[in-house]
Amino acid sequence: MSCVCQPRAERLAAAASCRAAAAGRTGFLRPCSAWAGKGTCKPFEGTCKPFEGTCKPFEGRMELLGAVLLAASLLGTAARGAQAPWPDEPSHTCFFQTLSSPDSEFCRGDLEVTYPQLGDVGCSYIPQCHQYRWRLSREWGSPRVRYPRADKGTDLRTGDLKGRVLTDYVRPTPPPRSGYHRYQLRLYEQPAGQHIALGPEELLSLGAWAMESFVERFRLGSPVASTQFLTKHHED
């Protein structure tokens, strides 16, 4: 496994074909092709560890008659102890780092959360380079969410989600000088015939309602898939 600056299309294809291999890497470079003329790709300084094992395709089909997608912004407490493995690099080089344990254990089921230019941010830190944190909190709208394991042809599999929105998307806005904050997305299977709705107090809370109470009230059980990313204030 070589450590090179791959074109974006090749990198995304490789990540999709064997996502489990990412667990064996200590870090990787995002492509510089989008920023031609603004710098050069630098070789990865470290050790690329090949994935030891076998990537097995998902066996069977998961048919979701209905699904509930919940996003949690854990702004009450910062991700204590979560530090980027290296400082932010100059703008011509952009390092992306995957989350380590225990944060990485939250990511399961191959749920994809894609923002413009960033690609799938699941289970990773958002770096400062190219104003990514600023764009995440000030410019970009809701991400494209895709669940490849869903039954073929469903909205979840293609990322073209349709349905009733309970609360509108709110951009991640971690406070200044508060460190990294976790932003989580959880996918639940909606019980057949179950009507999902917010209560009067939840409707008035502007999205700040208790997810645990919501899940328990509608008996959603454990998430089918979940992921998270960490980011901090764009000026930090």
Q: What is the pLDDT of residues 96-127, one digit of tens each?
A: 899 999 999 999 999 999 999 999 999 999 99
What pLDDT sits at residue 119? 94
Instruction: Give residues with Cβ within 8 angstroms of 187, minimum separation 6.
Output: 67, 68, 69, 70, 109, 111, 147, 156, 223, 224, 225, 226
What pLDDT sits at residue 78? 58
Residue 9 confidence (pLDDT) above 80: no
What pLDDT sits at residue 207? 74
What tokens were used for 70?
Answer: 């919940």
Residue 69 confidence (pLDDT) above 80: no
Measured distance CA(6)–CA(96) in Å, rounded:
13
Average pLDDT of the residues of the chain: 73
Calculate mean pLDDT across residues 213-230: 94
Least confident piece of the model among 8-17, 68-77, 130-139, 218-227: 8-17
Measured distance CA(4)–CA(42) in Å, rounded:
8
Identify the residue with better confidence: 194 or 23. Answer: 194
Residue range 193-212, pLDDT digits in tens: 889 998 888 888 877 888 89
What tokens were used for 16?
Answer: 């999709």
Instruction: State if pTM tops 0.85.
Output: no
Least confident piece of the model among 33-37, 41-45, 184-188: 33-37
What pLDDT sits at residue 219? 93
What pLDDT sits at residue 93? 74
Identify the residue with better confidence: 98 or 88. Answer: 98
Measured distance CA(84)–CA(53) in Å, rounded:
27
Residue range 127-174, pLDDT digits in tens: 999 999 999 999 999 999 999 998 866 788 888 888 889 888 999 999
